[in-house]
Amino acid sequence: MFNILGDVSGKNALELFAGSGAFGIEAISRGAKCVTFVDNNFRCTKAIKANLGSLDVNASKYNIIRANALSALPRMAKQKEKFDIIFLDPPYYKGMAKICLINIGSYDIVSPVGLVLVEHFKKDALDVELERFLFLDERRYGDTVITILRKVPHAHREGVGI
């Protein structure tokens, strides 16, 4: 995935449905400024913290939030957090990818040229009209698809969707 993203040095990233935190930990290892991990499962957040500790990652490089992804978004927006990269890997078969994109688009948490990477099941097409994102690419790996979107600048939002 990082061959798609290119250089992540100095960028702020958000990993929703973080699970093991593999994406965010890799981003930190590649020079990301700070990664916020969000997962509602205590075991997952505990494992992320343990993994970061075992790698001796400075605490200023990450935030771990134990919360439902959808409830965390408005809190981050209220704190005026901005992310250059958002990676979400919601549970398959529940329509969560679409719901999350709608919510991410509703809150001003994506930096002006931010990317959103969505991992989803191949049959869960992201056909929701989204004014705030421009479809860039899609990569297929068996039953898994990674859809890459870019935030559309406010002045260019009219008529843009996926």
Q: Which of 135, 76, 133 has the alpha carbon at shortest distance from 102?
A: 133
| pLDDT of 132 over the 80 cut | no
| pLDDT of 3 over the 80 cut | no
Cβ atoms of residues 47 and 69 within 8 Å: no
**pTM listed for this prediction:** 0.89
Residue with tokens 């559309």: 152
Is residue 161, in this structure, part of any structural domain at all? Answer: no
- Please provide the average confidence, as pLDDT, over all residues in the chain: 88
Is residue 82, in this structure, part of any structural domain at all? Answer: yes
Question: How many domains does one find in the chain?
Answer: 1
Cβ atoms of residues 84 and 52 within 8 Å: no
Is residue 101, in this structure, part of any structural domain at all? Answer: yes
CATH number for 14: 3.40.50.150
| pLDDT of 156 over the 70 cut | no
The pLDDT tens digits for 76-129 are: 999 999 999 999 999 887 788 888 888 998 898 999 889 999 998 887 777 655
- What per-residue confidence (pLDDT) applies to 128? 56
The pLDDT tens digits for 18-43 are: 999 999 999 999 999 999 999 999 99
Is residue 37, in this structure, part of any structural domain at all? Answer: yes
Is residue 103, in this structure, part of any structural domain at all? Answer: yes
Which whole number is the average pLDDT over 54-68?
96
Is residue 35, in this structure, part of any structural domain at all? Answer: yes
Is residue 126, in this structure, part of any structural domain at all? Answer: yes
Residues spanned by the domain of 130:
9-156
Half-sphere exposure of residue 37: CA atoms within 13 angstroms, side-chain side: 29
Distance, CA of 19 to CA of 1 (rounded, Å): 17
Which whole number is the average pLDDT over 134-151?
89
Instruction: Give the C-alpha distances (Å, rounded to integers) separating 65 from 10, 39, 53, 121, 145.
Output: 21, 7, 16, 25, 26
Instruction: Give the C-alpha distances (Å, rounded to integers) separating 135 from 32, 43, 76, 148, 151.
Output: 24, 34, 24, 6, 9
Is residue 54, in this structure, part of any structural domain at all? Answer: yes
